[in-house]
Amino acid sequence: MFLINCPYCGERDQQEFKAGGEAHIERPKQPTELSDDEWAEYLFMRKNIKGVQFERWNHAHGCRKWFNMVRDTSNDEIKAIYKMGEKPPAQ
Amino acid sequence: MRNKYSVFSLIKNALSYHENWQRAWKDPTPKKEYDAIIVGGGGHGLATAYYLAKKHNMNNIAVVEKGWIGGGNTGRNTTIIRSNYLWDASAGLYDHALKIWEGLSQELNYNVMFSQRGVMNLAHNLQDVRDLKRRTHANRLNGIDAVYLSTEEVKKFCPIINTSPDIRYPVLGGTLQRRAGTARHDAVAWGYARGADAMGVDIIQNCEVKGIKRNGDSVEGIETTRGFIKTKKVGVVAAGHSSVIANMAGLRLPLESKPLQALVSEPVKPIIDTVVMSNAVHAYVSQSDKGELVIGAGTDDYVSYTQKGSHQIVEGTLNAILELYPIFSRMRMLRQWGGIVDICPDASPILSKTSIKGLYFNCGWGTGGFKATPGSGDLFAHTIANDEPHKLNAAFNLNRFVSGDLVDEHGAAAVAH
């Protein structure tokens, strides 16, 4: 449980947010040409990092907007928050 | 030679004030090479080592554990054992485990306190009723004992449940598996450790894996905090940290690791003599032999390795418990903790070979792995020894995420993920 600084609403309780999993997984540009292995990679395989991870979050009980977060999953410390479409900060 | 535990050994040791009990397992230094190494000294890992030695004559093996044995999810779960899963593959897997549980204390000469007190799953809406009836039929077709109970029968079986039609989510019925129950989680790890150690397995604690050495597509050994250990076969049974080990070998797994919480109350006299699970409102409760109410809460929805979890998850579970069991309204909670569970997209486990020769994974048990401990160990040992899965775990391969042949137990079973 922690506080999240929504880029649109400011600091709110994590309870208001919904985690959306790993960020920057690009949807395949040519889905019809994908092999089963590539589909599995896109749909199911995750880095699931212990340490600094890039994630998507949604302010579900607030502005309902999506944004990105850089968080250390070993101690839940938030390193950076940036809007969708913005370049991820260098780590 | 391992001394046998019995009433006579108890009396004999009482005479020397219980100060001369034989060590249950040794504290060996790692050898340079083993025939196989199990990464992870929880229940599943120790059971795997036990069955490798017992059924497949692999005695030159080791279990490496970064902390102490049974200190991870084995010591953190709510000890519920049942096999009433919907799909055939799951029913086969979990009932295989349940059958081993039934004779486990005798086999290990270690009392795992397996208690077949029954597990009841409640229905709180019409869809629950339909799902639970369907599951009951599916279970019976698979030879698993299951009965559907009316609201009155639920009340008769567990009188402290509030079955009033006026509550927010009234009890419309339930299912009961009488062979299901609970066991003493620490004893399972200790019993398997003692059994494996007696057959020559090295149980190496405080030994963290730092890398997996590969020669092309084969495993050559593991780098640990206690040096390099050579081996051709590595079985990873690391629960929430499976992805961490997989990343060392350059593999990706379809897992997300999340905190799952549980809590116990102050101890009270016996009040609930079964296990009651309510998926729809997420409340499940049983009572330990010490008298504490053992309550399982849910997972958080974000990836975390912190073994903590959020307060509102516990609050939500306790709200549901108070509505279902008003008698608990003045109970005080004593302890709360979290464990990191590795969840697959289809909420079923992975017991599988990988694309790397000699590297095997047993993971993805998510929120309900304890119940499968003996079966998981047995089948994973078979998979490692033969380099082929047993027919009971063939469906739980890693390739199912490519073929699409998922074992989708997420909403289908009685599980509360």
Burial of B178 (0-12, 13-18, 19+ CB in 10 A): middle
CA dihedral of B112, B55, B224, B363, whole degrees rounded to 10 = -70
> Which chain A residues are Cβ-neighbours of B310 within 8 angstroms?
1, 14-15
Residue B45: per-residue pLDDT: 98
Which candidate, B105, B133, B106, places its Cα nearest to that of B121? B133
State whether residue B406 sits within 8 Å of chain A by CB: no
Q: What pLDDT, on the 0 to 100 scale, is given for residue B36? A: 98
DSSP B209-270: EEEEEEETTEEEEEEETTEEEEES-EEE--GGGHHHHHHHTT--BS-EEEEEEEEEEEE-S-
Report the relative pairing of strands B173-177 and B181-182 from DSSP bridges.
Answer: unpaired
Residue B99: alpha-carbon gap to chain centroid: 15
Put simply, whether B255 touches A (Cβ < 8 Å) is yes
Please report the pLDDT score of residue B51 as a whole number: 98
- In angstroms, rounded to a whole number, what is the distance separating the alpha carbons of residues B107 and B129? 39
User: Looking at residue B246, what is its pLDDT?
Assistant: 97
Cβ-contact B235, B336 below 8 angstroms: no
Q: Tokens 């069991």 sit at which residue? A: B325
High-pLDDT (> 90) share of chain A, %: 95
Nearest Cβ partner for A48 among B255, B300, B404: B255
Q: Which chain A residues are within 8 Å of B252, Cβ to Cβ? A: 41, 45-47
Q: Is A50 on the interface with B (CB under 8 A)?
A: yes
A91 pLDDT higher than 90: no
Closest in B255, B305, B312 to A46, CB measured:
B255
Among A36, A47, A71, the residue with its CB nearest the CB of B402 is: A36
What B22-29 contacts at long range (C-beta under 8 Å, 24+ apart), as own/partner pairs, is B24/B190, B24/B193, B24/B194, B24/B197, B25/B193, B25/B194, B25/B196, B25/B197, B25/B203, B26/B197, B26/B202, B26/B203, B27/B205, B28/B202, B28/B203, B28/B204, B29/B204, B29/B226
The number of C-beta contacts closer than 8 angstroms across A and B is 72
* pLDDT score for B415: 47
Long-range contact pairs involving B165-169 (C-beta distance under 8 Å, separation at least 24): B167/B323, B167/B324, B168/B323, B169/B124, B169/B125, B169/B280, B169/B281, B169/B320, B169/B323
- What is the reported pLDDT for A1? 76
User: What is the structure's pLDDT at B413?
Assistant: 46
Rounded to two decimals, the ipTM of the complex is 0.95
Of A15, A45, A75, the CB nearest to B253: A45
Q: 């040519």: which residue's tokens? A: A30
> Any chain A CB within 8 A of the CB of B316?
no
Q: Which of B245, B308, B310, B402 to mutate to test the interface with A (most CBs of A within 10 A)?
A: B402
Q: What is the DSSP string of A24-82?
A: --PPPS-GGG--HHHHHHHHT-B---SSEEEEEEE-TTTT--EEEEEEETTTTEEEEEE
Would you state the pLDDT for residue A90?
A: 82
pLDDT in tens, A21-46: 999 999 999 999 999 999 999 999 99
In B, minimum Cα distance to A34 occurs at B402
Q: What is the pTM of this model?
A: 0.96
Question: Do β-strands B227-231 and B147-149 pair in parallel, antiparallel, or remain unpaired?
Answer: unpaired
Reported as a single tens digit per residue, the pLDDT across B138-188 is 999 999 999 999 999 999 999 999 999 999 999 999 999 999 999 999 999
Task: Kindly state whether B311 is in contact with chain A, defined as any CB-CB distance less than 8 angstroms.
Answer: yes
The pLDDT of residue B1 is 64
Q: Which portions of chain B are predicted below pLDDT 70?
A: 1, 411-417
Q: How far is B109 from chain A (nearest CA, A)?
A: 39
Q: Do B301 and A19 touch (CB under 8 A)?
A: yes
- Residue A46 contacts B, CB cutoff 8 Å: yes
